Structures are given as C-alpha cells and as structure tokens.
Amino acid sequence: MTDTVFELFSYGFFRNAFLASLLSSVACGIIGSYIVARRMVFISGGITHASFGGIGIGYFLGINPIVGAVIFSLLSAFGIRLASQRSDIREDSAIGILWSLGMAAGIIFIFLTPGYAPNLMNFLFGSVLTVSKTDLWMMLALTVLTVTFFSAFYHTILFISFDEEYARSHNAPVELFNYILLALVALAIVLHIRVAGIILVISYLTIPQTTANIFVSDLKRIIFLSIAISFIGSVAGLLISYYLNLPSGATIIFVFVLVFAIAKTIRSISQRAGLKRAIRKPDLPIFFQLPVDYGLILSYLWSNYLFGISVHLIQNSLTISCIIMRKYLLLAIFTALSAACSAQMMWDISFDHGSGTDRIILPDGINGLWQIGAPSKNVFTQANSAPDVIVTDTSDPYPAGDTSSFIVVHLAQDGWMVNYPKIDIGGWYYVNSDTLTDYGFIEFSPDKGKTWTLVDSAGSGCCSWGASQEYPVFTGNSNGWKHFYYCLCTTVPVEFGDTVLYRFTFISDDNQTFKDGLMFDDLHFEDWSEGIDDKPNDRLINISPNPVSEILRIETVRKTGRKTVQIINVSGVVVYNNMDFHDEFINTGYFKDGIYLLRYATQEQYAIKKFVVRH
Amino acid sequence: MTKLIQLTDVSAGYNDTIVLRDVNFEINDRDFIGVIGPNGGGKTTLIKVLLGLLKPARGTVTRFDDASDGFIGYLPQTTQVDKKFPITVLDIVLSGLMSSRGRVYRYSRHDNDTAHQLLAQMGIGGLAHRTSKELSGGQLQRVFICRALISNPRLLILDEPNTYVDNRFESDLYERLIELNKKMAIIIVSHDVGTISYYVKTIACVNEYLHYHRSNIITEQQLADYNCPLQIITHGDVPHTVLQKHEHDHSHNHESHD
C-alpha cells in the first residue's frame, strides 16, 4: 500500500494494466466517438450483451471464450443491421431480441459446461489488472487497425455518418463502410470486455466521449479529447483502486463519471457567465440538451453498479431509466438478467498470495501437515496456478501415521429451491503416495459439523443441467495435475446464512516411503442461489483482542437489521451459533485454546475473521 | 440542347408497391423544372431515381455524365439529418466534393477557399467553424445549398427547399436560382405550385404518372386533366388567376405576400 507510483511500474501486472489503459483509450476514444456521434449506444449495448452467448459457448466447447465472443458480437451486430434493413423488425426491437438471446445462450451454455467456468466474473465485471500478453497484443492490433482506418478514411466516415443518403447519392460505398465500422465496434467491445467487463464496457465507449462533447462538437476534436480524458481517467482510476483497494473497473468508471460531472458544472458556470457578458438568445440549459442516450447510459451504468450494493437503489434507478423513455423498459429487464446471471454463488481458492485462505482452517500442532505455499518436493514441483498450493508439507515427504485434515468454510446463499439443494465442489489435485493404504478423501457437512458425508459415496450424483462429474483418485500416482468435480446432494436444505464445511483429509499408514503425498490447487465451491449476492466485506467488523482469553469484542458500523454470527473450530464443529445477534461481546471463556473462524453476516454482507483463543 | 439525364419507361417503387409508372422524362442543360404533385404522388421517388438512390423496377435511366466535379448537386429535405451530429459547417460543405475527391482525399486549400466563398455568398460566411447543432433550420438549409453547389454540378436538385426557410430568404434563394440556371439545369420539388411557377420554365406534375408541362403557366383545368390534385395551392389570394397572369416574369416582386 505504500508503493510509490514509480515502484508500481516494477510490477508486471501494473505495466500491463497501464498499457491496456493506453491502448483502450485510443481505440475506445475513436470508436466510442463514432458510436456517440451516430447514436449507436443502444446497439453497442446489444452487441456487448449478445457476446455473452459466445463466452458461454466458448466455455462449453473448451475454446477461448473471447473467440466465441468475437464471433457472437460480429454475428449480432450484422444480424441487428440486416434484421432492421431487410425486414419489418425495427432496429431497437432487433437489438432487444439479440441482446437477451445472447445473454440467455450464455447462461444456458455455462450451466451445461461440466465443472465450472473460471474467470466468469472477469468477463462480467472485467479486470484490467489481469490482462494477459495475448490480450495486449490483440488490443494493439485493434488500435493500429482503428487508427489506420480512421486516419485514412476520416472524411468519408464523417460524411457517411452525417448524411447516409447524401453520401449514397455521391456513389460512396455506404454499406461497405457501415459494415466495416460495425465490425470495428463489435471488436472494440469484445476486446474491452476483458478490461471493463460486459456490464461496464459501454462506459469506456460513451462517458469520455460525452464529456468531450461538452467542450467540443466536431468529431475529430471529440476523438482527441476523449482519448485524453479516457487515458487520464483510467490511469487515475487504476491508482485510486490500487491505493484504496477497490475493484479497478468500477473505480475507473466512477472517475469517468466524476470527470463528466465536473466538466458539466464548469461548462454551465462558464456558459452562464458568458450569457451575462454577451446578450444573446439563451440556449436551453445544457442538461436539457443531452440526448436521451447519455442520460440513459448513465442511469443504466448506475443501476448496474448498484445492484451489488443495494437492491433498493437499483429499483429506484431502473424506475428513472423507465421514466426517461419507455422503450428502454427493456433495459430494466436486461439489468435484472445480468444480475440474475451472477446469482450463482461461487468462489475459488487459488492459494496464491493468500487468496481465499481466510476461509481455511489449518490445524496446527502435531497434525500440522497441510501447508500453504509453493511446492518444492521431489515430484511436486509446480503449482496448478503459480505460485502456491495446499499440500502435505511444502518441502519434505509426508510422514508416516498421519491423519490430518484441513477445513474449508463455504458460505451458502440460497439453496437451489428448498427441496432440491445442490452444492458443487471442484478443483485440481496431484497425488503421489506409496500404496493404496495411504490415501486422501473429502467430506462435507451441511449442518455445521454435526454430520460428515464422504463426497464420493452418498453425497455425489446430484448434477443438473447435464453437468457430468469427474471422480478423483486420491491415491497412487496421478502423474500430474488432474481435475475433479462433484455435484453434491445434501440431506438438509442449504439456505442463506448456512455454512457448508468441506474437510480434506490425508491418511498415511506406518510405512515411511518418502513420497510427496497429496496437493490441491484452484479449488472451486458453489451453490445455487436465486437472489442477489451478498458481498464479502472485511471492513464490516473489527474483532479484538486477538488472541483473546475471556471476552471477544465485535465492533461494527451496522446497527440495524438481522445479523448472524457463527464460530467454527479447527475440526469444523460450530461452537457458537447465533442467528439473531445483537450484542457486542461474545464470551470465549469456555472455548478450548486454538484457532477459530468467526463468520459475521448481515442480509447483504459478511465478514470472516480468524482469531486465537489462549487462556 | 445537351441531354443530361433520360428516363425511358421507368417504373419504380418500394417493396411491392409501384409509386411511379411508365415515366418518360428527359432533362436538358439549362432546364428549370418545377416538380409538383400531391403528397405521396412520387415526387421524392422520382428524385431518388434521378440520383441513383433507387433502382427502377423497370425501364432505364441514362446519365450523360461528363468529367465535372460532381454531376448532380442535391439538396435533401433537412429533416433527414441528425442536427446534433458533431460536424462543422465547413466539413458539411466539403462533403459535396465526396464523389470527385476519392475516399482518402484530404481537402486542399483551394477546396476550403471555395467553401468559404460559397458560405459568404449565402450570407453565412461567419459560421464556417460552427457545428451543425448551433445553426437554425434556415442556416442549415443554406449550408446544404453550399454543399450542393461546391462541386459545380451540371444539374441541381432541390427537394422542398422552402421547408425551413423564412420568406425573405426564400425569395433571395429563388433569385439566386435564376442566376445559377445560367450555368446549370435545376429541378425543384415543391407542393407549393403557386410560388415556384413564378420562377421555373417548365412544370412536371407527378402523381403516379408524370405529366410534363412545357410551360410555367398551368391552369387548374390542366392540373385536373393531369390528374394532379394539389393540396396546397392557395399561395396568393386567388391562386389560379395568379398562375395565369404571370408569364416568364422573373423580376416579379414578391413583397405583397411578405
């Protein structure tokens, strides 16, 4: 957190993010100006969401989802144009149909995909910090293509965009240019989905351009000014998100909107001053001159972003966008749809840089076999995702006569309907053990540690939507990383606020054979929910003192609403469960010495804190 | 006389509907044709066929094109463009050179000077660097006239030029058209037959069929014979007598109507 800006550039991920911001500013500055000038914001929204179908099919077929998205976005862009030109379907209706069709296809194919969809959240919300070299090369190619095309044909593009029919009367290749430009729009959208996510990508293509349009109203100037605004905004947003530890995509967009608001204020003040100086016919206040598209897009982004914060506010902003224009009622549906597709509650532990490890209880003391770190053993030399894994000792062979386990706490949202609970577990494992008497197994407990069920006996086989399980063999030699996946049936309904515990155990007999044991990486857990996600928020509470002897104090800013607190010990047993917590203190005097996990949840947010009891 | 465009047995329309039937029509150099007819009668369709925007369903369109900068200058109805589009007045005017300058052409100083001159002639010389959203409807109309003229066309087509224009500019415009007619043929579309008949040389009446009337004097009886009922014919006090009284009186003073 104390890194200076220059030190940040020593990080590869930050250099990549910086380059991505630069490239996207240029490409989006040009293409976004074109979109805003031609009032193509709605069609761009349609293309964006339709490309989600391609992402789903990409996952399903096991190809790069971006490739699927490119195909889908091009097809939908041309489809919208053809449908509105060659048939009676009006353009905005065609957009509505393809928009929702794409989203629906995406959701279905992701459900049908065996296992899970890694990085799905990145496609929905974007992550400029995780752009890869390949992404950068593709963005560079697009930027070069766009700059070349626009600088060579600027006037033709301008004239065709301004007055298609006049251009046609001059034998200009109007259709050809429209299709090329539409393809560029589609490609720009898809390549920036990696950066900004499906839900927010439209902001890169509209907000800087609209801001530029406040000051200049010539296409060429809008392009240059919006490139500058976009670049400054995204780098500023990137730095703010780094120092305040906020999601980068959303922070960048808030910076964009902030710049927009400041620009608008400056403009209206200077206009009012100008009015006093020169007595001329006053224009409408500039706010009223905003084409509907801009207001719509702002309220749309607003509502999209807020759905993660508060359902109540979403409804308000959706109502606003409905009032703005009735045909955009569709948008309300689509926003709900985009909310629905993230309602599947899942999370991953990559073990890298401590990610997700706050939900793992590692036993210490004599059975402290499971360790998180980079594997450096005889056979186990590589993580599935570098650098870290959880492994039966990071450096030495596993000992004889061991029975240690670690526990992962999964926080359920809503079970998939009360009478059909469904929870999934998947991930990667690598086993290297001597005989079949040394082996690992996984159990789960939907009832806070009262009963434990082996995942591969009674528990498995509850797959729906055609998903197929992949059974692991946690003994012998797997000769490399293998994937496993279970759909689990639970005996009790799993509902919001419930905790599903997973216990991973490795057993060794008394023969020491100096093998490496068992390791896991990139574990994935999910259950199926129908509501809006609750969000992890580490700042929700503070607990003190730690270590604690008698009284554990929980400080929170939230004073109202239902709160639940559960405390789990290292064996996965729930030692404290209060579904209606109002106090500030918990008496830990009767707890045994050891490590505990405390889960504190409100209706919308939760926090997990690890603490130690020492008497 | 030099032929510019010839339509032979042309029928045209949209989808399954034929709007124009069996049109035989030729436009010669220095013609000044007023195209009149009821709304929906096919005036705009005729223009689209002349411009090559609409392929006729039957018949042939022959253009006797030469190597001039732009063969046809065209003034569309202003309502068709997005007034808030971010484009400068200068660029709008230069777009009239689109067909002669190629796709990657950058406009020369000479082109810019020509555009500035035209704007000055239209009385809007100071607006060259404004953008379209800052203009009034009438100013934009003048910008479009400059765009139509910048290529020195052999034929100028004006579609309802009086839609957004105030009365004073309207009569100025017609006087300018008479000047321009010395260099080029002009086709002007209007349903305001009273006004244009002062200025045009001949009248084409379009109502599914085209009747070419080789004079600017037309009586109500003739209109009825051509099956050309006009909805707006009440320009002036007594339209049909006004129509008959005025012959090629181009210097006619219009003040009585202002």
Give the pLDDT confidence of A162-192 residue by residue, as tens digits.
Answer: 988 888 888 888 999 999 999 999 999 998 8
DSSP code at position A397: P
Is cis: bond before A545, omega within 30 of 0? Answer: yes
Give the highest mean pLDDT range of A82-96, A149-163, B106-120, B232-246. Answer: A149-163
The answer to whether the Cβ–Cβ distance between B95 and A219 falls below 8 Å is no
Residues of chain B neighbouring A152 (CB-CB closer than 8 A): 103-104
In this predicted model, what pLDDT tens digit does every residue of A50-68 receive, in sequence order? 999 998 898 888 888 888 9
Q: What is the rounded CA–CA span in Å between residue A298 and residue A292?
A: 10
* Pairwise CA distance, residues A377 & A599, whole Å: 35
Average pLDDT, chain B: 78
Inter-chain contact B86–A165, Cβ cutoff 8 Å?
no
Give the helix ranges, DSSP H, for B187-249. 193-196, 220-225, 239-245
Contact A579, A595 (CB under 8 A): no
Strand A594-601 relative to strand A605-613, pairing: antiparallel
The residues on B that touch A, with CB distances below 8 Å, are: 51-53, 70, 72, 74, 76, 80-82, 84-88, 91-92, 94-95, 98-99, 103-107, 131-134, 147
Range scoring the smallest mean pLDDT among A39-43, A263-267, A578-582 = A578-582
* Closest residue of chain B to A148, computed from CA coordinates: B104
How many C-beta atoms lie closer than 10 Å to residue B247's C-beta?
A: 11
pLDDT band at A70 (very low <50, low <70, confident <90, very high): very high
For residue A538, the Cα-to-chain-centroid distance in whole angstroms is 18
Give the range among A103-107, A604-608, B180-184 with minimum mean pLDDT: A604-608
pLDDT of amino acid A462: 66
- A161 and B91 within 8 Å at the Cβ level: the answer is no
Both tokens of B233, joined, read 């014919």
Give residue A250's pLDDT: 83
Greater pLDDT, B219 or A276: B219
- Secondary structure of A254-268 in HEC code, one letter for each residue: HHHHHHHHHHHHHHH
Element (H, E) at B199: none
pLDDT at B243: 44
Q: Is A501 left (phi over 0), alpha (psi -120 to 50) or beta?
A: beta
Question: Using only C-alpha atoms, what is the Rg of chain B?
Answer: 18
Q: Is the pLDDT of residue A98 over 80?
A: yes
Interface test with A, best of B84, B107, B158 (most A CBs within 10 A): B84
Q: How many CB atoms lie within 10 A of CB B73?
A: 26
Name, of A319-333, A484-498, B184-198, the range with top average pLDDT.
B184-198
Q: How large is the C-alpha radius of gyration of chain A?
A: 27
* Chain B residues within 8 A of A163 when measuring between CB atoms: 76, 80-81, 95
CA distance A174 to A159: 10
> Do A471 and A555 touch, CB atoms closer than 8 A?
no
User: Does the pLDDT value for residue A94 go beyond 80?
Assistant: yes
pLDDT tens-digit profile of A141-169? Answer: 999 999 999 999 999 999 999 988 888 88
Give the 3-state secondary structure of residue A71: helix
A36 to chain B: closest CA residue: B85
Cβ–Cβ below 8 Å for B52 and A171: yes
pLDDT digits (tens, 9 = 90+) for B69-99: 568 888 887 667 888 899 999 999 998 888 7
Select the residue from A170, A215, A225 to test the B interface by mutation, using most B Cβ atoms within 10 A: A170
- Does B131 contact A166 at a Cβ distance shorter than 8 Å? no
In a 3-state reduction of DSSP, which class is residue A197? Answer: helix
pLDDT at B255 over 60: no
Sorting pLDDT into bands at 50, 70 and 90, what band is B123? Answer: confident
Distance CA A440, CA A431 (A): 9
Contact call for B87 and A218, based on CB within 8 A: yes
Nearest to A126 by CA among A332, A258, A305, A261: A305
* Average pLDDT of every residue of chain A: 77
- Inform me whether the pLDDT recorded for A111 exceeds 70: yes
pLDDT for position A207:
93
Its sign, for the CA torsion B216, B222, B228, B232, is: positive
Which pLDDT belongs to residue A439?
86
Which backbone phi and psi does A300 adopt, to 5 degrees? -65, -50
Per-residue model confidence as pLDDT tens digits over B14-25: 877 888 888 898
Domains of chain A: 5-290 (1.10.3470.10), 346-527 (2.60.120.260), 535-613 (2.60.40.3080)
Across the interface, whether the CB atoms of A166 and B76 are under 8 A apart is answered yes
Q: How far is A56 from chain B (nearest CA, A)?
A: 37
Contact at CB, A219 and B86, closer than 8 angstroms: yes
pLDDT at A36 over 90: yes
- Contacts of residue B132 in chain A, CB cutoff 8 Å? 162
pLDDT at residue A350 in the model = 79
- Sort B88 into a burial class: Cβ within 10 Å, 0-12 / 13-18 / 19+: buried
Lowest mean pLDDT among A128-132, A474-478, B143-147, B218-222: B218-222
- Better-scored residue on pLDDT, B69 or B51: B51
Which residues of chain B have a CB within 8 Å of the CB of A213?
Answer: 86
Confidence of residue A346 (pLDDT cuts 50, 70, 90): low
Contact A172 B99 (CB under 8 A): yes
Q: What is the mean pLDDT of residues A36-44?
A: 91
Question: What pLDDT score does A81 carry?
Answer: 87
- pLDDT of B132 above 70: yes
- Please judge whether B84 and A291 are an interchain contact, meaning their C-beta atoms are less than 8 angstroms apart: yes
> What angle is formed at CA A463 by the lines to CA A462 and CA A464, rounded to 5 degrees?
120
Determine, for residues A156 and B98 on separate chains, whether the beta-carbon distance falls below 8 Å.
yes
**Chain A interface residues (partner B, CB cutoff 8 A):** 33, 37-39, 152-153, 155-156, 158-159, 161-163, 165-173, 213, 216-219, 222, 289, 291
CA of A468 vs chain B CAs: smallest distance (Å): 52
The answer to whether the complex's ipTM is over 0.90 is: no
Do B166 and B257 form a contact (C-beta atoms < 8 A)? no
The minimum CA-CA distance between B100 and chain A, rounded to whole Å, is 9
Judge whether residue A96 has pLDDT over 80.
yes
Inter-chain Cβ pairs, chain A and chain B, closer than 8 A: 78
Characterize the bridge pairing of strands B72-75 and B155-159. parallel
Strand residue runs (E) in A213-296 = none
Instruction: Summarize the confidence of residues A365-380 as an average pLDDT.
Output: 76
Question: Smallest Cβ distance to B74: which of A37, A166, A222?
Answer: A166
Nearest alpha-carbon partner for A172 in B99, B37, B117: B99
Collapse the DSSP code of A291 into the 3-class scheme (helix H, G, I; strand E, B; otherwise coil) and give the result: coil
Residue A332 confidence class, pLDDT cut points 50, 70, 90: very low
CA distance A146 to chain B (A): 15
Residue A536 pLDDT level (bands cut at 50, 70, 90): low
Find chain A residues with C-beta within 8 A of B93's C-beta. none
Q: Does the pLDDT at position A122 exceed 80?
A: no
Q: Which residue of A has its CA nearest to B99?
A: A170
Average pLDDT over residues B241-258: 41
b/e code B35-58 from CB counts within 10 Å (16+ = b): bbbbeebbbbbbbbbbbbebebee
A159: nearest CA in chain B? B95
Q: Can you give the pLDDT at residue B63?
A: 82
Q: Do B131 and A217 touch (CB under 8 A)?
A: yes
3 state DSSP class of A534: coil
Closest residue to A153, CB basis, from B76, B104, B107: B104
Burial class (CB within 10 angstroms; exposed 0-12, middle 13-18, buried 19+) of B232: middle
> What's the rounded Cα separation, in Å, for the pair A237 and A207?
14
Least confident of A37-51, A178-192, B170-184: B170-184
Instruction: Identify the closest residue of chain B to A219 by CA–CA distance.
Output: B86
DSSP states along A105-161: HHHHHHHHSSS--TTHHHHHH--GGG--HHHHHHHHHHHHHHHHHHHHHHHHHHHHH
How many residues comprise chain A?
Answer: 615
| B chain contacts of residue A156, beta-carbon cutoff 8 Å | 98, 103-104
CA distance A482 to A470: 10
Of A106, A605, A65, A103, residue with least CA distance to A335: A103
Indicate the pLDDT class of residue B103, thresholds 50, 70 and 90: low
- pLDDT of res. A567: 85
Residue A157 is predicted with a pLDDT of 93
In the prediction, which pLDDT does B231 show? 46
Looking up tokens 């018949």 gives B59
In angstroms, what separates the C-alpha of A119 from chain B's closest C-alpha?
39
The pLDDT confidence band at residue B62, using thresholds 50, 70 and 90, is confident
Better pLDDT: A426 or A338: A426
Q: Which residue has the higher pLDDT, A1 or A255?
A: A255
In whole angstroms, what is the distance from residue A391 CA to residue A375 CA?
A: 7
Bigger pLDDT: B95 vs A292: B95
**Does residue A74 have a pLDDT over 90?**
yes
Instruction: Delimit the domains of chain B by residue range.
Output: 88-152
H helix or E strand, kind and range, residue A220: helix A219-244
Q: Which two tokens stand for residue B31?
A: 């013609």
Q: Tally Cβ neighbours within 10 Å of residue A468.
A: 9
